[in-house]
Amino acid sequence: MDWQNDSYNVDADTELTQRRTYEILPPTVVPGLLLSLLLQFSARRFRVPVPNLTSQVKQETRKNTKRRGRSLVTLRELLRMAPQDVVSFVGLSELSLEMAASLLRAGYKVQALQQTGPLMDAFVKLGGSQCDSPIRGGKALIVLISHADDVTNLFFSSAGPCKELERDTVVILHSNILPSHLQKLEKHLTENAEVAFVVDAYVSRGIFEHLSGKLVISSSGKSDAIARARPILSAMSDKLYIFDGEIGAGSKYKLVNDLLEGIHLVAALEAICLGIKAGIHPWILYDIISNAAGNSWIFKNHVPGLLRGNGTEEYLLDFIQKLGTVLNVAKLQTFPVPLLSVAHQQLILASAHGHRDDGDVNLVKILEEVYGVNIIIAANEEKYFPEQLAEKIAANSDTVSRIGFIGLGAMGFGMATHLLKSNYCVSGFDVYKPTLDRFANAGGLVGNSPAEASKDVDVLVIMVTNEAQAESVLYGDLGAIPALPSGASIILSSTVSPGFVTQLERRLQIEGKDLKLVDAPVSGGVKRAAEGTLTIMASGSDAALKSTGSVLSALSEKLYIIKGGCGAGSVVKMANQLLAGVHIASSAEAMAFGARLSLNTRTLFDAITNSTGSSWMFENRVPHMLDNDYTPYSALDIFVKDLGIVSHECSSRKVPLHIATVAHQLFLAGSAAGWGRQDDAGVVKVYETLTGVKVEGKLPMLKKEVILQSLPPEWPVDPVDDIQRLNQKSSKTLVVLDDDPTGTQTVHDIEVLTEWTVESLIEQFKKKPTCFFILTNSRSLSSDKASVLIKDICQNLRTAVKLLENVDYTVVLRGDSTLRGHFPEEADAAVSVLGEMDAWIICPFFLQGGRYTINDVHYVADADMLVPAGDTEFAKDAAFGYKSSNLREWVEEKTGGRIAAGGVTSISIQLLRKGGPDAVCQFLCGLKKGSTCVINAASERDMYVFAAGMIKAELQGKHFLCRTAASFVSARIGIIPKAPVLPKDLGITKEKTGGLIVVGSYVPKTTKQLQELKLQCAQIIRSIEISVDKVAMKSREEREQEIEKAAEMADAFLRARTDTLIMTSRELITGKNPSESLEINFRVSSALVEVVRRIKTKPRYILAKGGITSSDLATKALEAKCAKIVGQALAGVPLWQLGPESRHPGVPYIVFPGNVGSSTALAEVVKSWAPPVRLSSTKELLRNAEKGCYAIGAFNVYNLEGVEAVVAAAEEEQSPAMLQIHPAAFKQGGIPLVACCISAAEQANVPVTVHFDHGTSKEDLVQAINLGFHSVMADGSHLSFDDNISYTKFISSLAHSKGLLVEAELGRLSGTEDDLTVEDYEAKLTDVNQAEEFIDRTGIDALAVCIGNVHGKYPPGGPKLRLDLLKDLQSLTSKKGVSLVLHGASGLSEELIKECIVKGVRKFNVNTEVRKAYMESLSEPKKDLVDVMSSAKEAMKAVVAEKMRLFGSAGKA
Instruction: Give the active site residues.
Output: 573
CA-based angle 426:833:858, to the nearest 5?
A: 105
**How far is 584 from 327, CA to CA, in rounded Å?**
20
Burial class (CB in 10 A: 0-12, 13-18, 19+), 877: buried
Instruction: From 1177, 1161, 1381, select the one nearest 1298 (Cα to Cα).
Output: 1177
Residue 1098 dihedral angles phi and psi, to the nearest 5°: -75, 115
Q: How is the beta sheet containing 129-131 ordered, strand by strand?
A: 129-131, 109-113, 86-90, 138-145, 170-175, 197-205, 215-221, 239-243
**How far is 1235 from 1245, CA to CA, in rounded Å?**
18
User: Alpha carbon of 143 to those of 18, 87, 140, 172: distances in Å?
Assistant: 28, 11, 10, 6
**How far is 1276 from 1269, CA to CA, in rounded Å?**
19
**How far is 487 from 1120, CA to CA, in rounded Å?**
66
Beta bridge partners of 296: 615
Largest CA distance in the chain: 148
DSSP 8-state assignment for residue 672: I
**How far is 658 from 342, CA to CA, in rounded Å?**
7
Residue 960 dihedral angles phi and psi, to the nearest 5°: -130, 150
Beta bridge partners of 402: 425
Which residue type occupies 1360? K
User: Alpha carbon of 894 to those of 581, 629, 888: distances in Å?
Assistant: 24, 14, 10
Instruction: From 943, 966, 964, 946, select the one nearest 954 (Cα to Cα).
Output: 946
Burial 1010-1029 (b: 16+ CB within 10 A, else e): bebbeebbeebbbbbebbbe
Alpha-helical (H) ranges within 338-448 are 338-353, 363-371, 375-380, 386-395, 410-421, 433-441
Q: Are 237 and 215 in contact (CB under 8 A)?
A: yes
**How far is 1036 from 618, CA to CA, in rounded Å?**
55
- State the DSSP string of 239-284: EEEEE-SSTTHHHHHHHHHHHHHHHHHHHHHHHHHHHHHTT--HHH
Burial 1199-1227 (b: 16+ CB within 10 A, else e): bbbbbbbbbbbbbebebbbbbbbbbbbbe
**How far is 1022 from 1024, CA to CA, in rounded Å?**
7
E strands of 46-137, at which residues? 86-90, 109-113, 129-131
Q: Are 1417 and 1396 in contact (CB under 8 A)?
A: no
User: Alpha carbon of 854 to those of 100, 219, 912, 939: distances in Å?
Assistant: 26, 18, 12, 11
**How far is 567 from 773, CA to CA, in rounded Å?**
57
**How far is 791 from 504, CA to CA, in rounded Å?**
47
What is the distance in angstroms between the CA of the first residue and the CA of the last residue of the chain?
A: 68
Measured in residues, the chain has a length of 1453
**How far is 642 from 94, CA to CA, in rounded Å?**
45
> Which residues neighbour 311 within 8 Å (Cβ) at sequence distance 6 or greater?
305, 362, 363, 364
Q: Are 1139 and 1124 in contact (CB under 8 A)?
A: yes
